[in-house]
């Protein structure tokens, strides 16, 4: 399934692969990859038990994506280990690790959908024309139910940080 006209990239309408993830539904499972003492994977079962924020970005090597990751990293630091916080993109795990190290990102774990791109399809965030993920934010409660979902209408704009953090606080 594809959805047209949901988002734009620099004003151009884009097509998202997959169905829209909606508040109230069970979060789709995922298998993402990260590099920490070797290649590792993380899935929905790994984040259940704590509220989770999934901050989805096209690429950490762009200004808006870097800003989004830094802002969430700074804001979520006070919540400590009461939450899970993931930045998700198609960037290679090594590049994500390099970015997070260089920028002092310690409160967000970077996780990549580069290998099978199922996250992009299952969360309805894959931009078909560009083969990258659109900008989106999802908050899951401790049971893995979606309590907040935002697909940023213009990919080059920042998400609604306040609304996402409020949803995360409500899930605590």
Check whether 156 has a pLDDT greater than 90.
yes
Cα–Cα distance measured from residue 123 to residue 16, given in angstroms and rounded to the nearest whole number: 10
What integer pLDDT is reported at residue 37 of this predicted model? 84
pLDDT band at 133 (very low <50, low <70, confident <90, very high): very high
Cα–Cα distance measured from residue 106 to residue 112, given in angstroms and rounded to the nearest whole number: 17
The catalytic position among 21, 32, 47, 65 is 65
What integer pLDDT is reported at residue 36 of this predicted model? 86
Residue 117 to residues 3, 91, 112, 125, 133: CA-CA distances in angstroms?
17, 11, 9, 10, 9
In the chain, what are the helix, strand and coil shares in percent, each to the nearest 5? 30, 35, 35
Sequence spans of domains, the chain: 2-171
pLDDT in tens, 19-76: 999 999 999 999 999 998 889 999 999 999 999 999 999 999 999 999 999 999 999 9
Q: Is 100 a catalytic residue?
A: no
pLDDT in tens, 64-108: 999 999 999 999 999 999 999 999 999 999 999 999 999 999 999
- Contact yes or no for 59/132 (Cβ under 8 A): yes
The predicted model gives 122-136 an average pLDDT of 98
Q: Say how many C-beta atoms besides its own lie within 10 A of residue 106's C-beta.
A: 10
CATH class given for the domain over 2-171: alpha beta
What integer pLDDT is reported at residue 134 of this predicted model? 98
Its sign, for the CA torsion 81, 51, 112, 153, is negative
pTM higher than 0.85 for the full model? yes
Nearest to 65 by CA among 103, 113, 35, 32: 103
């Amino acid at each position: 399934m594809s959805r047209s006209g949901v988002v734009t990239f620099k004003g151009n309408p884009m097509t998202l692969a997959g169905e829209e993830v909606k508040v109230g539904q069970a979060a789709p499972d995922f298998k993402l990859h990260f590099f920490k003492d070797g290649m590792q994977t993380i899935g929905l079962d790994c984040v259940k038990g704590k509220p989770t924020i999934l901050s989805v970005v096209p690429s950490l090597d762009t200004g808006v994506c870097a800003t989004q990751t830094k802002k969430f990293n700074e804001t979520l630091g006070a919540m400590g280990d009461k939450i899970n916080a993931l930045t998700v993109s198609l960037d290679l795990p090594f590049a994500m690790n390099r970015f997070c190290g260089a920028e002092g990102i310690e409160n967000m774990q970077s996780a990549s959908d580069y290998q099978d791109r199922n996250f992009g399809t299952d969360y309805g965030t894959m931009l078909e024309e560009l083969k990258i993920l659109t900008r989106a934010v999802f908050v899951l409660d401790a049971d893995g139910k979606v309590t907040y979902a935002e697909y940023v209408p213009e990919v080059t704009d920042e998400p609604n940080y306040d609304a996402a953090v409020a949803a995360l606080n409500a899930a605590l």
